[in-house]
Amino acid sequence: MSHSPVWHPFHQHGLGEDIPLVARAEGAVLHTSDGRAVLDVISSWWVITHCHNHPRIVEAIQRQAAQLDQLIFAGWTHQPAEDLARGLTAIMPRALEYVFFSDSGSTAVEVALKMALGYWANTGAPRAKIVVMEHSYHGDTIGAMSVGERGVFNRAYAPLLFDVETVPFPREGQEQATLDALETACKRGDAAAFIVEPLVLGAGGMLIYSPEVLRQMRQICSAHNVLFIADEVMTGWGRTGTLLACEQAGVVPDILCLAKGLTGGALPLAVTMATAPVYDAHYSADRSKMFFHSSSFTANPIACAAANANLAIWREEPVLERIATLAKRERAGFEAIAAKHPITNLRQLGTVIAMDVDIGESGYLADIGLKMRQGFYARDILLRPLGNTIYLKPPYCITEAQLGRVFGAIDEVLGEVL
């Protein structure tokens, strides 16, 4: 390609890497303009669930685009949004009665934080402290960065971020330290909410903790009247083996964030779902107590139509069976690789599987991550290691043969870079 004016996210242009031009996609494959067929085993940043260009979702988008493309959502509504809100309340935990639309995972988190603070402000007992978990990532807008891990992702923007209280990640054998820290933070009486990625911390390194810890964290928040926010932007829509990761702990949050796979990954759309008490705190004849948040494309009709098609797929097709089969194949492939190479901490939850390359170098900027990424691309594999952590999170349609090709590429690349 000739020089492009595009500034890409999470990409250091100064390294001079080739940037492929993708012309089309189908299933788990991206077809580039120069004729390559690249296997997308991270679901194009964890968003594609069923497959690229799922026919049912594409058809819904085309049909809706010919009817109503966009509508102001402040005081107006449309049928795709109404259908989606009802569909979500039917499939999600019953206590999550209300659906607020936004555009992305980051904005879903911003909405959740504002809902929590608004709840306390409007009930006459204002609280302002947000409690977070070490190594978390919740997005790249200001509020989302504030409740995420402080480090290379946001160091330059530190003056913009608000203070939070952090509890340690519940590493195996050290879970009680996390629970004790959360108990202490909640006891003080100034905590408005605790926000957490349930069971798996994504950008923090695919760190996995137990459903029992999640259950106990929810109990602590409930005991001290601290709102519990579950950020299922990455973990939702089957990634962990169940529709929501919270299901595995029997946990129902006060506020739930969903995005990425909400439309099957086809279009940007997010929701923040809330319980009746959170909604009721903003329900009043006093206009100053309304929820002050929106964006121009809130509940875009075309995106809602895509999400409704996704819900239909979940209702009518054996999605969880596909996920279970994929998880077994991933495990077998990674175990074979781990037997040949210096691999540590092989871990899996549903289709999220990860392992660390044991080279004495870790962290997002570990040089081995870039070397491996380049090696994978040379073999027509879209795989972006998190530093020395290799992970898979493919579309659920990926075949056994395609996975075999991925495992072979990982084996070869590790042989080259180690």
Q: Tokens for 125?
A: 């007992």
Tokens of 120: 């306390």
Q: Quick one: pLDDT at residue 351?
A: 98
Rg (alpha carbons) of the chain, rounded to whole number:
21
Query: Is 70 exceeded by the pLDDT of residue 15?
Result: yes
CA neighbor of 397 nearest in space, from 307, 325, 305, 299: 325
Q: Note the pLDDT tens digit of each residue in 366-387.
A: 889 999 999 999 999 999 999 9
Q: Which of 16-20, 76-80, 363-367 is predicted least confidently?
A: 363-367
* Contact (CB, 8 A) for 39 and 402: yes
Helix (H) / strand (E) element for 118: namely helix 105-122
The residue-averaged pLDDT of 92-100 equals 98
What's the CA gap between 55 and 348, in Å, rounded?
30
State the alpha helices, DSSP H only, in 224-363: 276-280, 301-316, 319-338
DSSP string, 173-213: T-HHHHHHHHHHHHHTS-EEEEEE-SSEETTTTSEE--HHH
- Contact in structure between 392 and 202 (CB atoms under 8 Å): no
Delineate the domains of the chain, giving CATH numbers in brackets: 13-53+318-417 (3.90.1150.10), 57-316 (3.40.640.10)
Nearest Cα residue to 379 out of 346, 356, 402, 354: 402
pLDDT digits (tens, 9 = 90+) for 298-331: 999 999 999 999 999 999 999 999 999 999 999 9
Give the model's pLDDT for residue 152. Answer: 84
Q: What is the mean pLDDT of residues 241-257?
A: 98
Summary mean pLDDT of the chain: 96
The pairing of beta strand 29-32 with beta strand 37-40? antiparallel
Q: What is the pLDDT of residues 129-172, one digit of tens each?
A: 999 999 999 999 999 999 999 988 899 999 999 999 999 999 99
Q: Which of 129, 136, 132, 210 is nearest to 176 (CA)?
A: 210
The pTM score is 0.96
Contact 149, 134 (CB under 8 A): yes
Tell whether the model's pLDDT for residue 1 goes beyond 60.
no
CB–CB of 381/41 below 8 Å?
Answer: yes
Q: Count of alpha carbons within 13 Å of 411, Cβ hemisphere only?
A: 14
Instruction: Let me know: does 250 contact 212? Beta carbons within 8 Å.
Output: no
How high is the pLDDT of residue 2? 66
Separation CA 24–CA 231 (nearest Å)? 31
pLDDT at residue 363, rounded to an integer: 79
Classify the C-alpha dihedral 80-86-91-92 as positive or negative: positive
pLDDT 10s digits, 204-242: 999 999 999 999 999 999 999 999 999 999 999 999 999
Is it the case that residue 336 has pLDDT exceeding 60? yes
**Mean pLDDT for the stretch of residues 246-258:** 98
Beta carbons of 218 and 251 less than 8 angstroms apart? yes
pLDDT confidence tier of residue 255, bands split at 50, 70 and 90: very high
d(CA 103, CA 74) in angstroms, rounded, equals: 15
Residue 312 near residue 56 (C-beta atoms within 8 A): yes
Instruction: Label residue 253 left, alpha or beta by phi (over 0 means left) and psi (-120 to 50 means alpha).
Output: beta
DSSP letters spanning 83-113 = HHHHHHHHHS-TTEEEEEEESSHHHHHHHHH
